[in-house]
Amino acid sequence: MPDLSIVIPARNEMWLNHTVEDILHNSEADTEIIVALDGQWPVDPIPVHPKVKVLFFPESIGQRAATNRGVRISDAKYVMKLDAHCAFDKGFDRILLEDIKDDWTIVPLMRNLHVFDWVCKCGHRQYQGPTPDKCPKCGDKMEKDIVWRAKPSPKSTAYRFDKTLHFQYWGEYKTKQKGDLVETMSLQGSCFMMRRDRYLDLNICDETWGSWGNQGTEVSVKSHLSGGKVIVDKRTWYAHLFRTQGLDFGFPYPQSGRAVEKARKCSRDLFLNDKWDKAIHPFSWLIKKFEPPDWEHVWKKPNGNPTKGIVYYTDNHLNMKLAKLVRRYIQKSELPITSVTLKPTGFGKNIVLKEERGYRTMFKQILKGLEEAKEDIIFLAEHDVLYHPSHFEFTPKDENTFYYNGNYWIVRLTDGFAIHYDVSPLSGLVAYREPLIKHFKERLELIDQKGFGYYMGFEPMTHKRIKWKNWYDFEIFNPEFPNIDLAHEGNLTKKRWSQKKFIRKPKFWEEGNINNIKGWDNLSKILN
């Protein structure tokens, strides 16, 4: 009795024999291969070997059904479903069997498979793709040269699905995956392994969903909701050939969008409505466990109250003592902090961008922070502003309005001179995260098309010089105590210290000094 049965559903698969040969060559455990030929014999013969079994169905029964037939004739403790165009690491099966637990669905790290090159007698070689009419160098006919190797990158370990339960890669989640055995929310679908009795009990590859489609989501959600885990084993790998657009070797089944949507509809009905009778967890439990984008409405509002967070950005050109002082005041808010910097800072959840200082970079930092943050309401925070605790007490009333703190004093550090006027700075912007993401994506797209210009301004929605596709209202709020904008030599944008410097004069203007700002009686001492 084998330890593992690898079941390969196959129909019109050009690389099936290579896949079988690869498994035989790299297997180190007691592993058998069950090939389920779904309505068509392969062009190239399958290797004859004691560990290879072949099922043949004269008429196609579909990928799910063919997989299930293979699983049912297996006597092994574990089964693996595998696409017919894959390669493996040496000893992959031994490693997986060593690491797997009874309630796990496990997959190796996934790489891309380089199957062949086109070669010509003249020496010209080009990467796998559609059959060329002739050699571009000499005009001769080109032939396939089998390469069959795993490409060094990418090395995929994190997957999810969106609100339609459509598969997505999730590279951002890799930062949370520590160690060799890491959890993932979903699966790619080309390879997965689990106990055979668990496969049958959970009705993996439900045939009522159709021939194929949405398989990774089905397998992963059933694995999670039944009390198990979906694990990527980074100690070994498999490589998968992706039928990228333009390749002219055939897809094994008719590519019907209607059929794929049927599978997605079945999964949405079963899981989103909590109809699956094998589940010990509700579907919302899975969403809250992984906190994926697209699902914030499920995991972001405990007790119906919006959560608050801070996105902090800096170009790292500020005096370090001053920067630490500002961060210390931000931390007094006790809100979650996502910082996006150009050098490592260790402040909150820190993301480092390898970019040059500039306005485009600043907006890119803000967008990255918004995408990484998980809270409903975001306060933007700059590295050279002392934020009064009252600033973070404000809560926006409307999800589609941008709010600016209008109570700011600007202090010149060289001599303590201070000014106060009607201002709505970017550093005082507070709004719901989703509208902010939409705006800064649109802003960066515009900059990439036309370059940055002062005409677009810095404070979203405060003027109408640009007709943004996503338009929001803006309002000013005025806490009792002001924030302090510190003017220093490293400012990216220079300050204007008199009304004469403004084309449009501020409606009110007040001058003072570092020692007479309400709520900041000891400001000079703090800065010293």
Q: Range of 56's domain? A: 4-243+252-290
In this prediction, residues 429-454 reach a mean pLDDT of: 91
Classified as helix, coil or strand, 299 is helix
277 located within any domain: yes
Q: How far is Cα 44 from Cα 66, in angstroms, rounded to an integer?
A: 20
In this prediction, residues 194-213 reach a mean pLDDT of: 90
In this prediction, residues 151-166 reach a mean pLDDT of: 92
Classified as helix, coil or strand, 262 is helix
In this prediction, residues 335-346 reach a mean pLDDT of: 92
What confidence score (pLDDT) does residue 72 get? 97
**Is residue 513 pLDDT above 90, yes or no?**
no
Classified as helix, coil or strand, 65 is helix
Helices (H), 429-508: 433-450
> Model confidence over 392-428: pLDDT tens digits?
999 998 888 999 998 988 888 878 888 888 778 899 9
pLDDT band at 495 (very low <50, low <70, confident <90, very high): low
Same domain, 237 and 364: no
Q: How far is Cα 261 from Cα 213, in angstroms, rounded to an integer?
A: 8
**Is residue 18 pLDDT above 90, yes or no?**
yes
CATH of the domain at 522: 3.90.550
85 located within any domain: yes
What confidence score (pLDDT) does residue 503 get? 59
Mean pLDDT across the chain, nearest whole number? 88
Same domain, 20 and 160: yes
Between residues 514 and 137, the one the model is more confident about? 137
Same domain, 374 and 500: yes
**Is residue 102 pLDDT above 70, yes or no?**
yes
Geometric angle at alpha carbon 202, from 199 and 204, rounded to 5°: 60
Same domain, 266 and 153: yes
**Closest among 478, 441, 488, 439 to 459, alpha carbons compared:** 439
Same domain, 308 and 225: no
271 located within any domain: yes
3-state SS string for 210-252: CCCCCHHHHHHHHHHHCCCEEEEEEEEEEEECCCCCCCCCCCC
Classified as helix, coil or strand, 297 is helix
Start-to-end CA distance of the chain, whole Å, equals 78
Residue for token digits 């894959």?
Answer: 86
Between residues 374 and 239, the one the model is more confident about? 239
Same domain, 283 and 312: no
What confidence score (pLDDT) does residue 156 get? 96
**Closest among 214, 190, 206, 203 to 265, alpha carbons compared:** 214
What confidence score (pLDDT) does residue 496 get? 62
> Model confidence over 265-279: pLDDT tens digits?
888 888 988 889 898
**C-beta separation of 378 from 433 below 8 A:** yes
Same domain, 61 and 196: yes
CATH of the domain at 274: 3.90.550.10
296 located within any domain: no
Same domain, 80 and 11: yes
295 located within any domain: no
Q: Which residues have a Cβ under 8 Å from the Cβ of 25 and sit 6 or more positions away? A: none
Q: Can you name the residues that pair with 79 across neighbouring β-strands?
A: 5, 194
Between residues 416 and 56, the one the model is more confident about? 56
What confidence score (pLDDT) does residue 453 get? 83
Same domain, 228 and 360: no
What confidence score (pLDDT) does residue 185 get? 97
Share of the chain above pLDDT 70, in %: 92
Q: How far is Cα 3 from Cα 53, in angstroms, rounded to an integer?
A: 15
Q: How far is Cα 520 from Cα 528, in angstroms, rounded to an integer?
A: 14
**Is residue 247 pLDDT above 60, yes or no?**
no
**C-beta separation of 87 from 148 below 8 A:** yes
Q: How far is Cα 486 from Cα 494, in angstroms, rounded to an integer?
A: 11
Between residues 199 and 322, the one the model is more confident about? 199
What confidence score (pLDDT) does residue 281 get? 85
pLDDT band at 253 (very low <50, low <70, confident <90, very high): low
Point out the least confidently predicted range of 162-176, 275-289, 295-309, 474-488. Answer: 295-309
**Closest among 333, 323, 103, 57 to 202, alpha carbons compared:** 103
Same domain, 12 and 81: yes
Q: Which residues have a Cβ under 8 Å from the Cβ of 391 and sit 6 or more positions away? A: 333, 379, 405, 428, 479, 483
Share of the chain above pLDDT 90, in %: 58
Same domain, 283 and 373: no
Point out the least confidently predicted range of 2-11, 127-136, 367-376, 516-525. Answer: 516-525
Q: Residue 271 half-sphere exposure, CB side, CA atoms within 13 Å? A: 26
pLDDT band at 490 (very low <50, low <70, confident <90, very high): low
How many beta carbons lie within 10 A of that of residue 315, not counting itself?
Answer: 20
What confidence score (pLDDT) does residue 20 get? 97
What confidence score (pLDDT) does residue 245 get? 39
pLDDT band at 246 (very low <50, low <70, confident <90, very high): very low
Q: Which residues have a Cβ under 8 Å from the Cβ of 34 and sit 6 or more positions away? A: 5, 6, 7, 8, 53, 54, 55, 70, 73, 74
Q: Which residues have a Cβ under 8 Å from the Cβ of 321 and sit 6 or more positions away? A: none
Residue for token digits 């080009």?
Answer: 126
Spatial strand order of the sheet with 377-382 comes to 349-352, 337-341, 308-313, 377-382, 429-432, 401-405, 473-477
Residue for token digits 């800065």?
Answer: 527
**Closest among 45, 52, 31, 39 to 10, alpha carbons compared:** 39
**Is residue 499 pLDDT above 80, yes or no?**
no
Classify burial at 510, counting beta carbons within 10 Å of its beta carbon; exposed 0-12, middle 13-18, buried 19 or more. Answer: exposed
Same domain, 153 and 209: yes
Which of the listed residues 290, 318, 347 is the one where a domain comes to its end? Answer: 290
Q: Which amino acid is at 189?
A: G
Geometric angle at alpha carbon 71, from 70 and 75, rounded to 5°: 110
**C-beta separation of 378 from 311 below 8 A:** yes
**C-beta separation of 346 from 323 below 8 A:** no
**Is residue 109 pLDDT above 60, yes or no?**
yes
517 located within any domain: yes
Q: How many domains does the chain have?
A: 2
